[in-house]
Structure 1
Amino acid sequence: MTLLWIAIAVLLLPALWLLVAPLRNARRLHDQQHAFETNDTSAEQNVAIFKRRLNSLEAARERGDIDAERFEEDRLELERSLLEDTAVRTRRPLKPAGAGRLVVPIVMVAVVVVSVLWYQQKGAEGDLVLLAVQQEVQNDPEGSLDMYIKRMEEQAERQPDNPNVWSALFPVYRETGQMPQAVDALERLIEIEGRIPPLLAQLAQIRFFMAERELTDEVQALVDETLEQDPRQPTVLGMLGIHAFDNGDYEQAIDRWRRAVANIEDPNTAASLRDGIRVAQERMGVAPEEAAVEAAESSGIRVSVSLDEALADRVDGDDTVFITARDVEGELPPLAVVQAQVAELPMTVVLDNSVAMSPQAQISQVREARLMVRVSPSGQAMPQPGDLFGDLEGVSVGPISDEEAAEVVINRVFE
């Protein structure tokens, strides 16, 4: 931490230098301004110019170039101009060169104090302390997991509102079998971060195993709350698959695990779930080859399509509706296409390998797809100006469920 404060001090030095630098030139600027005000002869110059112009005006009157009335008008104009140019303007007394010097140290102190307070509120000092603790334990010849836990618990007392303390503690508690402590740490993290699906799923999973793999009322409430926010949450789906497997419902276990695999990012966890799927298939007497074909055939997206009421008067009941799934990168041909009519809306369809346009481009080949629904009065496959459409990005491809569907609303017009 000493290095951190040294770094902050080094960064503050240029700012403090900018505050002090103007004082170095204060004396020179004061002398220049004083000399200018003392030697200012602009008033005398203006009087001399007035006299020359008045002489020229009188000479013109004597020559008869102007009459007496015009002479008086021009002379008054010259006098008015002279008065404006030579009017005495009260100048503020020139302050001493050292005036205001006391303010600079005050501002410098304020800059330092505000910077330090801002960093303490918004900076990552606490996280740097956690990193230092981890490195210290790793480099200690007698370092151990118990030492790490003890040091992190000390930081939890010093930084009770730092979410990174609790996110580091609860998995260590879980791995060492200290489930009550893991639950306490995770609940504290949820208080800080909010009731977001990943944290609720972790809490549900820990309580599930603490209850000897039973869906107690408390666990079920956490599961319902998580799935309400994120129906594809893989941790909860994996846990529900375990519960179904334990109860001999292998078909439901496979369905849950397949949906979890489709949304999970950790390759090790995904591999474990696939092993579980293979075991469940063996219990059901399904050969691996048949299971692979079945999995491919059952992968897809259930899509609910509706038309925005504001655009209802722009279409007819017999206009063609194209419901298409494409890969996110747009490198493959359409993966699945279903054709319908406006009169059938709202409707729900399934996009799977059975509605693929080509064996080389099937929806089971991708994990995510982009949905495009278009209404074509002309029935043309290519979009035309005036066609209506709606789309949905990043829809997960996985086992098709009757419980959920991706909703696409036709609410825009091709220009």
Structure 2
Amino acid sequence: MIDFWLAAGLLLLVALSFLLIPVLRNRRAQLEEDRTALNVALYQERVAELQSQQEEGVLDAAQMDAGRAEAARELLADTEGVAAPRVTRLGKPAPLLAAILVPVLGLGLYLHFGASDKVELTREFSQAPQSMEEMTQRLERAVAAQPDSAEALYFLGRTYMTLDRPADAAKIFERTVNIAGRQPELLGQWAQAQYFADGKKWSDKIQALTDEALKADPKEVTSLGLLGIAAFEAERYQDAIDYWNRLLEQLPPEDKSRIALQGGITRAKEKLVASGGQVAEAPVTKVTALLKVRVDLAADLKAKVQPGDSVFIFARATNGPPAPLAAKRLTVADLPATVELGDADAMMPQLKLSNFPEVQLVARISRAGKPTAGEWIGRSEPLASSTTAPQKLTIDSPDK
């Protein structure tokens, strides 16, 4: 922040120089004007003295004229080369007044319309926080400076949950949803914060949020975990087991929370058996996804492509990472062609079609053989990853 104000001060000095330099230059002209006025006064005094001597009879008319002429020559000699005085309507105080008002006005406008708070926040976030409280204060200032930033609101909500402030977190997550849209993850976070803010009392509002989240994404982890907790608190142990088992399937093997989750499932089973019930183990089913798509080339593009041009066909998540979930590579000579995109074609093990409820199909022609950039492209409308009906995809647009 000090560097910023030093730079601002330097620019201010440059601006003031344009106002003060003319004032300093005018000081010389003022001195010249004062010297001219003094010479005129001396001339007038000399003429008055000559007139007095003529009246006393000391000088005659000829001597009087000669003395007046001599005084005039001296006056002309003294004033020769002096520029004519410039007249300004603003007066001499105007430049000095402007020199004072310009920086004051500029500073006031910057403090009102500028972004000094954002500059300060950028400087703060470049340094690691010393405590959780300091991080919270930074996020609160970030939200105040950028109230429409869904990212800042989301992290502030998560921080409030860490600090056991669920009521504040619920309000923040609601604002996040209003800005970023009703994404399953945000709905799950909102429902969880609201549940703890209400003293672990289930409500129609929380039920509606979790239902909406799981409808959009049946694997939304926060909602699954929350429903399991609510079911356990309500002594619906079988429901808790089912929800937590579904959540357990979504967690990677190295996730440390799997141990605590497995412990919760074990306790739910013990309580169910102690109450006279019987644990119903759900059959383990492996969810897979397989999309069939027929790719063709628009008629008006057939004359513009070459048989050896690469054709990349891939599926990517509508709401998720930009990386392809499954991909195949052909050439223009292979078109039209029918391909299958499934979990077996995943680019990365954790990014599978079955892990995302909605995807988009894309086909790109790249003469350079680059899957991320090409000459022509075709895109489908968003569709469910569980779709079994064959899809059609036509490459018909320039790739921008």
TM category (shorter chain) comes to: 0.3 to 0.5
Structure with larger Rg: 2
Q: TM-score, normalised by structure 2?
A: 0.44
